[in-house]
A and B are shown apart, each in its own frame.
Chain A
Amino acid sequence: MTTTTYTAPATGRRRPVAWSRLAWVTLRQRRGAMIGLGVFLGLFAIYLAVMGFLQDHAYAQVAACNSGTVRCHQLAQAFTNDYWGGNASVLLSGGAQSVSSLLYVVPVLLGAFLGAPALARELSDGTFRFAWTQGAGRTRWALSTLAVPAAVLVAATGAFTALFSWYYRPFLQDHQVSEMLPLGFTLLGVAFAAWTLFSYALAAFFGALLRRTIPAMALTLVVYVALATLTALDIRPHYMTPVTMPTASVTNSTGWVISQFAKTPGGQPVSLNYLYNHLPASVQNSQNQNAFTDWLTTHHYTQWTTLQPDSRFWPFQLIEGGWLLALSLVLITGTVWLVRRRGA
């Protein structure tokens, strides 16, 4: 073999491989997953659109009828039964209540489905030995691999939220529910996209850590359920100091009720539970449903409710979206760090 002359390594600033080319690689590799995402959300969107049109038609009659007559009341009642409760004889309708319960788990399903294989598959198949030794370098490769599906997910779930909000609007208008209630809250505003992004980042991180897709998905599901439950029960109520108002002035759509209590005639707060256990037996055993309230009124107790009012919907959305976004960025940074330090 002849000795050959080698060109000296290029000096000066080296131009990194363009992001657009890296993005093409990610899109091509994750094409199946993206199509799956599109089909899933697309079918769900068609269902919501059809139900939404039917609902709008039915709701128009309810809205037009505001004379307070018995007929109007029945119309509103029927609308609620059909479209919220799911007694409509159209399609396979479970009603908005069931639809929103179902959608509650969609962020983690989508996030785990797209996020867990992102790195786990490369690591378990050994293809990272190909990907990480190309000219682009593993850091840029990892950023593209993580960011491109994340952007697609956020765009898709954001668009889906817009459609869902339109679908859900009659129930909010009709004073059926408060948009602050946990079920609606996570499906409206920015929360749905934010929880999806978080699940995705979590799944990608676990995928890089465990190197296997299925365990990463399972762990993501567990952590998501734990954090989502904790958030609804113990974190979200504390975003802002709750408002306390007389229970009498609270309606279904005033806000998200955190707690209820009574005040003694002297103004001391006391729990309803405590009062109930110390009532005279005649009241406790009464057949009259209002016996408790009547007793409180006659003894000059007042009833109070602590709640997060509907007017705080957007501040709460932004707070929740903000910390979820921050957490997602931490997880993505952690994933890139795992990729950078991982050996062969």
Chain B
Amino acid sequence: MNIIETSALGKRYRRKWALRDCTLAIPAGHIVALVGPNGAGKTTLLTTAVGLTRPTEGTISVLGGTQAGAPEALDRIAFVAQDAPLYRQLPVRDMLRVARNLNHRWDQPRAIDRLEQLEIPLGQRVGALSGGQKAQLALTIALARRPSLLVLDEPLAALDPVARDDFLASVVEAARDEPISVVLSSHVLAELERVATYLIVLTRGEVRVSSPVRDLLETQGAGLEEIAMRYLRAGAPSSRTDRPSRTDQPR
């Protein structure tokens, strides 16, 4: 089963294409690293997969053929947007209750256990949590929904090194313990290298590579970071210029 499958997917914001001719098939059971420079279309691809963004052209299906954004897809995909938006004015306890009341499936003991382990007090206001705690709370809420697919958009961007390490450990633990696929995006591969089992490189709205990490390591005989760098360079406008000269013409 493919957790995300796209065919000639494209998204245009006004006159600029954020994503172009994107054809992908991500198999289930992986921790997928979606890597690319800022503005490469990572967020657009992820928000399209969770049904927030409607594609301009092409098709996208999730969880083995369900239309992205369909009720069944919403039930089984948990999404944490960049900066982990949650209701800042609510105490953690009520934030949990809000999430619980917005979903069919909810594992309250699991959420409470996790927060206890993380030492996040239930009475604390969400807005008063540290960046790391807030990211962990968002992850806790996502996992309490018992999703089949967990989508995390730039989950590490706002975290300090220790919080990053803890967060990734939590993700790996969740992926190990249950049948869950994870897609994480980042503009820094080094962060994901340790945990990723599948790599997608996206530059300027186009897919450069989409492959299991094991295959890449076997065929290319180099470290993952170096392999990814090759694809990132191949997708760059030209090797030595800093200014990308982007044309919006279809290929």
Contacts and interface: CB of A to CB of B under 8 A. Distances in A.
Interface of A: 1-10, 14-17, 21-22, 24-25, 28-29, 32, 125-127, 129-137, 141, 341, 343-344
Interface string B71-87: 11011111101010111
B54 A343 contact: yes
A127 B103 contact: no
Contact of A29 (B75, B87, B145, B178): B87
Contacts of B43: 344
A134 B103 contact: yes
A28 B102 contact: no
Contacts of A1: 29-31, 175-176, 197
Given A17-B103, A127-B86, 10 more contacts: A7-B148, A9-B63, A9-B76, A24-B101, A129-B47, A130-B87, A133-B79, A135-B71, A135-B104, A344-B47
Contact of B104 (A15, A129, A130, A133): A15
A133 B74 contact: yes
Given A22-B101, A25-B102, A133 B64 contact: no
Report whether over half of chain A's contact residues are helix, strand or loop; otherwise say mixed: loop
Nearest to A15: B104
B234 interface: no
Contacts of B99: 134
Query: For chain B, which range describes its interface: under 10, 10 to 19, 20 to 34, or 35 or more residues?
Result: 35 or more
Nearest to A21: B101
Interface string B27-55: 01111000000000001100100111110
Contact of A133 (B51, B54, B179): B51
A126 B47 CA distance: 13
A43 to B, nearest CB: 24
Contacts of A17: 101-104
Interface in B154-202: 175-176, 178-179, 197
Contacts of A28: 90, 94, 97-98
A6 B1 contact: yes
Contacts of B103: 17, 134-136
Nearest to B50: A133
Interface of B: 1, 28-31, 43-44, 47, 50-54, 63-64, 66, 71-72, 74-79, 81, 83, 85-90, 94, 97-99, 101-105, 145, 148, 175-176, 178-179, 197
Contacts of A135: 71, 74-75, 102-105, 145
Contact of A14 (B30, B71, B102): B71
B1 to A, nearest CB: 6
B31 to A, nearest CB: 7
A172 B179 CA distance: 72
B148 to A, nearest CB: 6
A7 B83 CA distance: 31
A293 to B, nearest CB: 66
B102 A344 contact: no
A137 B79 CA distance: 13
Contacts of A24: 97, 101
B28 A6 contact: yes
Contacts of B63: 6, 9
Contacts of A25: 98, 101-102
Nearest to B88: A125
Contacts of B88: 125
A77 B105 CA distance: 69
Contacts of B175: 1
Given A22-B101, A135-B103, A6 B179 contact: yes
A9 B72 contact: yes
Given A6-B1, A24-B101, A29-B98, A134 B74 contact: yes
A134 B64 contact: no
B53 A130 contact: no
Nearest to B148: A6
Contacts of A10: 72
Contacts of B76: 9
15 contacts: A1-B29, A1-B176, A4-B29, A6-B1, A8-B64, A9-B72, A24-B101, A130-B87, A133-B78, A134-B74, A136-B102, A137-B74, A341-B54, A344-B47, A344-B52
